[in-house]
Amino acid sequence: MWAYESVFYQIYPLGFCGAPFENDGVLEHRILKVLDWIPHIKRLGANAIYFSPVFESDTHGYNTRDYTKIDVRLGTNEDFKRVCDELHKNGIKVVLDGVFNHVGRGFFAFQDVLKNRENSQYKDWFARIAFDGNSCYNDGLWYEGWEGNYDLVKLNLWNEAVVQHIFSAVEGWINEFDIDGIRLDVAYCLDRGFLRRLREFTDSKKADFFLLGEVLHGEYGRMLSEMNIHSVTNYQCYKGIHSAINSQNMFEIIHSLLRLFGPEDWTVARGAHLLSFADNHDVSRIASIIQNPAHLPLCYGLVFGMPGIPCVYYGSEWGTKADKSQGDPALRPCFEKPEWNELTDLIAKLSEIKKNSKALNYGGFKSLLLTNKQCIFERNRDGERVLVAINLDGCDYMAYFDAGAATATELITGNTHEFAGGSNLPPYSVQYWKI
């Protein structure tokens, strides 16, 4: 699967392109802005893009109006095809957000229910509708909204007409834009039978079509099996990374990684390829969470070094700050142009290291040294061994451990590293030793 050897770049298009929050119905060809960023994305080393919602919606993209039409605020289907074609020409895969649990109030079938009530041919397209109730919109009927959000009308995925409507749209995305995968919004809410059928459908339409599920916490290995998809979001380690670094307690993240990917029989996701990230469009920017700016590069040292598929959120590669308390729009800004600094340079180096390493793409996880402020762990596959060494402390640390070798190549700098007499970990450092 191509995704297992990839580095993802996430763009939230409505924010990235500076579109108005409310759908004003005015056609603007904003999505073409992505074309100007392709050189930056390639230089960063990303070879796959995950686009948050691009289809016609009421406001933020997750309240879909039309699964077949690019949001008018972003442009036309022809505009987006041009973007996808150019990305593919540059060796960059395209994954779109599939919001199949719910739709917006502007969705045509729900509008028909509001108009025709019990006589609507679409009344069974939605999870639960009570015509003797009411909603906060004073519709004269009640319906189920996702987690109490009534701008998100929950679909009935047991209804064959709904399933076929979604499958027809997905087939259109493949035929029209040649997309390479789908990120399934709130996958933990989706009916498992629907997910099984979706996997069978996409497998039949395009080889190596990637399905990524958004999940929060739980037994990731079991969830992957039950959902019959390729990957899920690793929120457990997302939280563990910044919590461990801020508290200077590396035991927290390393024990989480051992529980998920370690060598023991009880490991819950060994061999799985979860999506690894420092932040995304739903959480505070990592630069706003990490208390010591010197620790920020170390977050990415973990994201790229641990088992998983690394994903970088646009703007965070140069340390943009934003706090969730400021509201979602603050997390999803428009930048005039990309920036480049020492952090971006490190991420670009880590991207190339990861993509070209069998051990980092497919290897297991073994802890070799662990203290509150330092860790060294091993990734090993088919004879290739990569050791990741991190020092949170502001002073040098001399690490004594059995590396099983005399020398290694430090992949970030290209220098030779000798293990005899101990391994020095400089202050606030990450090193990748290939043996």
d(CA 217, CA 188): 10
Please tell me the distance from the alpha carbon of residue 410 to that of residue 435, in angstroms, as a whole number: 9
Q: What is the pLDDT of residues 145-191, one digit of tens each?
A: 999 899 999 999 999 999 999 999 999 999 999 999 999 999 999 99
Q: What is the pLDDT of residues 263-307, one digit of tens each?
A: 887 788 999 999 999 999 999 999 999 999 999 999 999 999 999
Mean per-residue pLDDT of the chain: 97
Across residues 27-38, what is the average pLDDT? Answer: 98
The helix/strand/coil state of 184 is strand
pTM metric for this prediction? 0.96
Map out the domains of the chain with their CATH numbers. 2-103+157-361 (3.20.20.80), 104-156 (3.90.400.10), 366-434 (2.60.40.1180)
Does the CA dihedral 198-201-205-206 come out positive or negative?
positive
Q: Residues 147, 153, 158, CA angle at the centre, nearest 5°?
A: 95
What's the Rg (C-alpha) of the chain? 23
DSSP string, 262-274: SSSTT-SSTT--P
DSSP-derived pairing of the beta strands 48-51 and 93-98? parallel
Q: What is the pLDDT of residues 58-68, one digit of tens each?
A: 999 999 999 99
Spatial CA neighbour of 260 closest among 375, 366, 384, 351: 366
Burial class (CB in 10 A: 0-12, 13-18, 19+), 249: middle
| Cβ atoms of residues 360 and 379 within 8 Å | yes
Q: Using DSSP bridges, classify how beta strands 64-70 and 55-57 pair: parallel, antiparallel or unpaired.
A: antiparallel
Distance CA(145)–CA(128), nearest Å, equals: 9
Sheet with 366-370, strands from edge to edge, namely 366-370, 374-381, 384-391, 429-434, 407-410, 416-418
**Res 186: pLDDT:** 97
User: Can you name the residues that pair with 55 across neighbouring β-strands?
Assistant: 70
What tokens appear for 176 in the block?
Answer: 């029209």
